[in-house]
Chains A and B, each alone.
Chain A
Amino acid sequence: MRKLLIGVSRKIEYSIRNDFFAHLQKLDSTFFENNRTGSIMALMSNDLDAVRNFLGPGLLNLFSTVFVFISTVTIMFLISVKLTLYSLIAIPLLPLIVSRLSAMLYYRFKISQEHYSLLSARTQESIAGIKVIKSFTRQNYETDNFAELNSQYINKNMELAKVRSFFWPAMILIGGIGSLLVLTVGGMQVIQGQLTLGQFVQFSAYIITLTWPLISLGWVINLVQRGEVSMGRLNSVLNLSPTISVPQKPVNIDHYKGDIVFNNVHFFYPEVKSYDIGFLENKTGKTKSYIKKFLELISKYFLKTEDQKNGPEFSYKDADLTNARIENKQSKKDSNYTETGINKSLKKPEWVIKKINFTIKAGMSAGIVGFTGSGKSTIVNLLPRLYDPQQGVITIGGHDIKNISPAALRSHIAYVTQDAFIFSKTIKENILFGKEQFLQFSEANNPDGKEIDGKIIRASKIAHLHEDVMKFPDGYDTLIGERGVTLSGGQKQRLAIARTIIADPEILILDDSFSNIDTATEELILQDLKIHTSQLTTIIVSHRISTIKDSDIIIVMDEGQISETGTHSQLLKKCGIYRKLYYRQQLSDELKEEL
């Protein structure tokens, strides 16, 4: 029994965690900008634990309570009906107390969680803003402020504790009243000869057996309340649907070699309420719905196992399809959540980029320059649909990219992002990131994996990473990241380039991808890229003029708008930002050479 229930609860936890993770992967960048990593991780640990505790130990105890209760009471009735009725006199008090107190528990637990959020947010700010705090010597104020939130939080917890401390002793008391009545009434009956001493002894033993289930019932109710609050928090994220929608009937394009056209594109970063707030605003909690939720979870779990039986191998294509299916289902269920968030901010849009018009011909190279914050990166973020523009249309080869599924689009666009996020895996795994199907394919055909190694080395050589890798102890199998070798900024960027070009993309975006690489190497990489990928349409974002000066077209950004376009020589003739930037950089290069 124990093994079964706890085991099932663990399995359900496993499947919720998987679902939750898969759902997270579907949500778009906006969600992650508005929710701190810490809170998301708290959901996946603390809240999930609470749900599991409710499902496992909680239900286990509930079942055993009911079972023990019924069987004991039956036997008691067989011994003495009258005495049994007496001993159960206090039982009707139970639902009364439970329903009153559990509502209180739920409410106070929620408030305590709210304050926990506040405390954690404040701490986060105090750490992130430490420089300001130190330089204005505001430590004392920060500490006082923290102390206040801290004491508010423990006060709320104490209010919760009051109810909790009452609950358990109250349950024992109810059980105790039964014992008392048995002692009184049963004792009198024995003395009067209506009951034998043996029967009395037997009876008092049973009444003690009854006390424990009552105690554990109190504990179970506590778990149920916690579980419910946490399930609500989890659901508030699970019910979110991604704002980047998958088209109902995506167009299939064989190649992405067409012109890239931005037509009057406007965009701002939408603000989505963080799930914390969304959840807390929804104060009309339905206290009785947990049984329904539980049934849902159980059925989901069993359905899930069936699914797995049908197709144990997780293939990438399937994943994509199921994703799309789930998305559609969920967007029907509830999507006004995110929509209202956007509508609200739509009232007064502060465009990050506006009136963006340009065409990049197939196979050409384009450079985008401008100051930091002028909207360069934003433009290239729109192309692989990390965000969708609020106004205007972006087309590739005449197809509106909104009609192409994000997954298909992204598999043809190689994008080397600014931050070069490297995973704690081996170099090989990092280069093959997202291209693992190569590995499976080649392993099937070619057990040595030589072909795939050749591909990796080729990409690595183009990115000028190969020599560095050879210096590592395990070559391409060297583990990097948190627990392995730490790469320098330049090595990270070159690795990011290598993993991007290995798939032979049709469109390549380099967003400030050379900032930690010296100019000479940068030049070499750019040259090699040109040699090996002649058909490639390239977009290079940079604040370094030298990186983009040979581009077929240069787009100069200023305050979210295009201020000038043209080739290097054309732009130099204009007395604009480009010329300013050019001279400034030429000078600093000269200075460097001189000294």
Chain B
Amino acid sequence: MKTREKKNFYEKDIEEKQLDRKVVMKLLRYVAPYKLIMAFTVLLLLIIAALEIAGPYLIKIAIDKYLSTKQMDGFIYIIILFASVLAGLFIFRFFQQYLTEYLGQKIMYDLRMDIFRHIQKMEMSFFDKNPTGRLLTRVTTDVQALNEMLSSGIITFFGDIFMIAGVTIVMISLNLKLSLVTFSVLLLLAAATFVFRKKVRISFKIIRAKISNMNSFIHEAVTGINTVKLFNREGGNNAEFDNLNKDYLFQYLKTIFYYSVFFPVVAFISTLAVALIIWYGGGQVIKSLLTLGTLVAFIQYIEKFFHPLSDLAEKFGIIQEAVAASERIFSLLEEKPKIFSPSSPVKVKDVKGDIRFENVWFAYEKDNYILQDISFTLERGKSLAIVGATGSGKTSIINILNRFYDIQKGGIFLDGINIKEYDLEFLRRHIGIVMQDVFLFSGTILENIRLSNKDISFEQVVEAAAYVNADKFIRKLPDGYNTDIKERGQILSVGQRQLIAFARALVFNPEVLLVLDEATSSIDSEIEALIQDALSKIMKNRTTIVIAHRLSTIRNADNIIVLTHGRIVESGPHKKLLEAKAVYYKLYKYQYQLQV
């Protein structure tokens, strides 16, 4: 039973990955801006092929015209020509290689930018579905794999084609009969290549599946490392990994088998070709139907003919890998963002800050409504506190107001205009958020407050920080505002980070402010007082919706909404709600009173 299950799990993703036309077309779009460079590279490849072909030809002339007739005059020109061919090859090869890399890097750059921009455009639910690691892989590893295909695949392919074509033409023009004899051997080669490709393709498919099995296993083992340790499963994991690793090894050894059959076969065929040429051509030379030089040139051309072919076989794996990567990239790029600016957004100069919710229904997942029929109005400059138990939908109100998520039914209006009619960036610029889990970027405190917006001066940052009581502790840090914060900001306490978030919100000066102020754990009383003070300061004269936890904040709010299971059960100012002696009264009595 166990093995059966294993099979289902481990062999699921073996599927055909061929370089189909669609992927090529999409890739060509990225090549298009560099048409000139591409054309130039191809031209260089042509020149290189021509020069390569010229080499043996010069030797042929040298043998036929000078060596066999023992004539010294003019031999020097052949040598000079040969030397210039060598020098030319060196120079052109250098430029061709360099340009190819340049092209590859430029295309990678564009592709990475496109993916990055695209990811930034996606809506929040996209990030809920796609873990960071997966998106990161698209931008880094997958793009890298694609570059391989471009430089080692497509470009060398051109070069090889030119070489094969050029050699064929020259051979035919030198001697048709001898060419035909040579080409007859090539049919054999074509057959061998065909069989090899077929065998290897299947193997590569399996190998890719094995790699992905191994990767998911590693990923699980690393992310679940604590569980592994607690259950003493290291040994078992090692054994299991060993099996996957071994599978992969054996599969690979199989392809090595194909390769090690294929290459000797190619070598044999090419030797056979040489033998045929010498046997047939030699006879011709003796009968003086063929010059010795031509025979020598033919032998050298055979070499140039076979190398590109075995090259193609070597590159096969790389190309397979890249096709898989490009498919992943393009399927990401094709996923359209579901939340975007309207094609012709309303043009307003200023935002005043009137907010209205009209029968709003909202669900993260189909039909599972987190918010049900929410309606309220909030005038400019006023504040609204939302209270309720965890899971009652408080946070969702914030998530839908700046369109992190879109609502299913009803409407949300800012200054009487539906928020869907605003330009998305405009909307968000005027609606600030102070989040509970304060995300800090690696960089200085200064940059974390102004989020690297150079329009905000250092003085403004200090002013804002001082206003929300953050200036004092920031100045105490080793480098003040220039103190480096590592990812996740470990040097700051939870309370301090909260104050930084306030400063951040303040310095951007939005007309509407959303504050998530849920029970933040261990904040000592001193900093607690600072936070309360800062909160009331930034709420002053600003339309504010606060998911409240602190009594002081709730009491000072102009209006309070009590939310239960996504519905408004009560609303009104503090005093009125207390007098009603209903839900809020109870909340207040048991919970908030204890804070005093």
Once bound together, how far apart are the Cα atoms of A498 and B220, in whole Å?
20
B75 engages A411 (CB within 8 Å): no
A56's closest neighbor in chain B, by CB?
B256
A479 proximity list for chain B (CB < 8 A): 5, 8-9
B263 proximity list for chain A (CB < 8 A): 2
A191 engages B67 (CB within 8 Å): yes
Give, as a whole number of angstroms, the nearest-CB distance from A262 to chain B: 19
Q: Is B184 an interface residue (CB 8 A)?
A: no
B102 engages A161 (CB within 8 Å): yes
Q: Is A521 an interface residue (CB 8 A)?
A: no
Once bound together, how far apart are the Cα atoms of A154 and B218, in whole Å?
30
What are the interface flags for A408-426 relative to B under an 8 Å C-beta threshold, 1 for contact and 0 otherwise? 0011010101000101111
Checking B87, B116, B259, B569 against A6 with a beta-carbon cut-off of 8 angstroms, the contacting residue is B259
What are the interface flags for B218-260 relative to A under an 8 Å C-beta threshold, 1 for contact and 0 otherwise? 1111111111111111111111011001101100110011011
What are the interface flags for B423-452 relative to A under an 8 Å C-beta threshold, 1 for contact and 0 otherwise? 001001101110100010110000000011
B95 proximity list for chain A (CB < 8 A): 165
B67 engages A200 (CB within 8 Å): yes
B215 proximity list for chain A (CB < 8 A): 41, 45
Instruction: Identify which of B21-29, B34-42, B360-368, B582-590 touches chain A.
Output: B582-590
Residues of chain B from 59 to 77 with CB closer than 8 A to chain A in the complex: 59, 62-63, 66-68, 70-72, 75
Residues of chain B from 2 to 57 with CB closer than 8 A to chain A in the complex: 2, 5, 8-9, 12, 55
A168 engages B93 (CB within 8 Å): yes
B252 engages A187 (CB within 8 Å): no
B102 engages A584 (CB within 8 Å): no
Q: Is B137 an interface residue (CB 8 A)?
A: yes
A11 engages B299 (CB within 8 Å): no
Once bound together, how far apart are the Cα atoms of A168 and B151, in whole Å?
15
A25 engages B221 (CB within 8 Å): yes
- Given A411-B232, A434-B233, check contact A10 B252 (CB 8 Å): yes
What are the interface flags for B83-127 relative to A under an 8 Å C-beta threshold, 1 for contact and 0 otherwise? 100110111011101100110011011001100110111001001
Q: Is B524 an interface residue (CB 8 A)?
A: yes
B242 engages A18 (CB within 8 Å): yes
B59 engages A131 (CB within 8 Å): no
Q: Is A558 an interface residue (CB 8 A)?
A: yes
Give, as a whole number of angstroms, the nearest-CB distance from B479 to chain A: 15
Once bound together, how far apart are the Cα atoms of A425 and B565, in whole Å?
36
Once bound together, how far apart are the Cα atoms of A188 and B219, in whole Å?
67
- Given A124-B132, A130-B120, A131-B404, check contact A483 B236 (CB 8 Å): no
Checking B94, B121, B390 against A166 with a beta-carbon cut-off of 8 angstroms, the contacting residue is B94
- Given A205-B299, A373-B494, A421-B226, check contact A157 B105 (CB 8 Å): yes
Q: Is B502 an interface residue (CB 8 A)?
A: no
- Given A127-B135, A417-B226, A479-B5, check contact A587 B586 (CB 8 Å): yes
B12's closest neighbor in chain A, by CB?
A483
Once bound together, how far apart are the Cα atoms of A121 and B136, in whole Å?
9
- Given A187-B75, A374-B522, check contact A173 B389 (CB 8 Å): no
B451 engages A141 (CB within 8 Å): yes
Q: Is A38 an interface residue (CB 8 A)?
A: yes
A2 engages B453 (CB within 8 Å): no
What are the interface flags for B384-402 relative to A under an 8 Å C-beta threshold, 1 for contact and 0 otherwise? 0000011000000000001
Once bound together, how far apart are the Cα atoms of A11 and B120, in whole Å?
42
Once bound together, how far apart are the Cα atoms of A42 and B137, in whole Å?
10
A176 engages B89 (CB within 8 Å): yes
Checking A127, A158, A168, A180 against B83 with a beta-carbon cut-off of 8 angstroms, the contacting residue is A180
Q: Is B133 an interface residue (CB 8 A)?
A: yes
Once bound together, how far apart are the Cα atoms of A208 and B306, in whole Å?
14
Once bound together, how far apart are the Cα atoms of A121 and B260, in whole Å?
41
- Given A132-B435, A168-B97, A187-B67, check contact A127 B141 (CB 8 Å): no
Q: Is B459 an interface residue (CB 8 A)?
A: no
A25 engages B228 (CB within 8 Å): yes
A164 engages B97 (CB within 8 Å): yes
- Given A18-B242, A116-B140, A201-B292, check contact A184 B79 (CB 8 Å): yes
Most buried by A among B68, B119, B451, B564: B451
Q: Is B351 an interface residue (CB 8 A)?
A: no
- Given A187-B62, A197-B67, check contact A169 B225 (CB 8 Å): no
B264's closest neighbor in chain A, by CB?
A2
Q: Is A485 an interface residue (CB 8 A)?
A: no
Q: Is A307 an interface residue (CB 8 A)?
A: no
B90 proximity list for chain A (CB < 8 A): 169-170, 172-173, 176
B259 engages A133 (CB within 8 Å): no
Once bound together, how far apart are the Cα atoms of A181 and B172, in whole Å?
29
What are the interface flags for A25-39 relative to B under an 8 Å C-beta threshold, 1 for contact and 0 otherwise? 110110010001110
A201 proximity list for chain B (CB < 8 A): 63, 292, 296
Instruction: Identify which of A67-75, A316-324, A334-342 touches chain B.
Output: A316-324
Most buried by B among A25, A145, A318: A25
A147 proximity list for chain B (CB < 8 A): 113
B230 engages A143 (CB within 8 Å): no
Checking B12, B224, B591 against A584 with a beta-carbon cut-off of 8 angstroms, the contacting residue is B591
Interface residues of A toward B: which range? 35 or more
B245 engages A436 (CB within 8 Å): no
Give, as a whole number of angstroms, the nearest-CB distance from A12 to chain B: 10
Give, as a whole number of angstroms, the nearest-CB distance from B455 to chain A: 11
Residues of chain A from 390 to 420 with CB closer than 8 A to chain B in the complex: 406-407, 410-411, 413, 415, 417
Once bound together, how far apart are the Cα atoms of A373 and B124, in whole Å?
26
B433 proximity list for chain A (CB < 8 A): 135-136
Once bound together, how far apart are the Cα atoms of A558 and B453, in whole Å?
38
Once bound together, how far apart are the Cα atoms of A125 and B136, in whole Å?
10
Q: Is A238 an interface residue (CB 8 A)?
A: no
Once bound together, how far apart are the Cα atoms of A385 and B572, in whole Å?
53
Give, as a whole number of angstroms, the nearest-CB distance from B276 to chain A: 16
Give, as a whole number of angstroms, the nearest-CB distance from B397 to chain A: 14
B521 proximity list for chain A (CB < 8 A): 370-374
A126 engages B116 (CB within 8 Å): yes
B59 engages A37 (CB within 8 Å): no
A161 engages B98 (CB within 8 Å): yes
What are the interface flags for A114-130 relative to B under an 8 Å C-beta threshold, 1 for contact and 0 otherwise? 00100111011111111
Checking B82, B120, B241, B389 against A588 with a beta-carbon cut-off of 8 angstroms, the contacting residue is B389
Give, as a whole number of angstroms, the nearest-CB distance from A230 to chain B: 14
B101 engages A137 (CB within 8 Å): no
A208 proximity list for chain B (CB < 8 A): 300, 303
A197 engages B522 (CB within 8 Å): no
A15's closest neighbor in chain B, by CB?
B245
B120 engages A21 (CB within 8 Å): no
B97's closest neighbor in chain A, by CB?
A165
Checking B117, B245, B428 against A17 with a beta-carbon cut-off of 8 angstroms, the contacting residue is B245
Q: Is B271 an interface residue (CB 8 A)?
A: no
Q: Is A482 an interface residue (CB 8 A)?
A: yes
Checking B2, B72, B82, B292 against A191 with a beta-carbon cut-off of 8 angstroms, the contacting residue is B72
Checking A38, A130, A426, A592 against B127 with a beta-carbon cut-off of 8 angstroms, the contacting residue is A130
- Ranked nearest first, the 10 interchain pairs of A and B with the lowest CB-CB distance are A434-B231, A319-B235, A371-B521, A165-B97, A161-B101, A169-B93, A587-B590, A421-B224, A434-B233, A3-B260
7 interchain pairs (CB within 8 A)? A21-B238, A45-B141, A123-B116, A126-B116, A132-B451, A176-B90, A190-B70
With A158-B105, A425-B9, A436-B236 already in contact, 16 other A-B pairs whose C-beta atoms are closer than 8 Å: A6-B260, A10-B249, A14-B248, A17-B245, A25-B238, A42-B141, A127-B119, A132-B439, A142-B120, A154-B105, A161-B97, A168-B97, A371-B519, A374-B521, A433-B231, A434-B231
| Residues in A lying within 8 Å of B, measured CB to CB | 2-3, 6-7, 10-11, 13-14, 17-18, 21-22, 24-26, 28-29, 32, 36-38, 40-42, 44-46, 116, 119-121, 123-139, 141-143, 145-147, 150-151, 154, 157-158, 161-162, 164-166, 168-170, 172-173, 176-177, 179-180, 183-184, 187-188, 190-191, 193, 197, 200-201, 204-205, 208, 271, 314-316, 318-320, 323, 370-374, 384, 386, 406-407, 410-411, 413, 415, 417, 421, 423-426, 429, 433-436, 477, 479, 482-484, 499, 558-560, 579-580, 583-584, 586-588, 590-592, 594-595
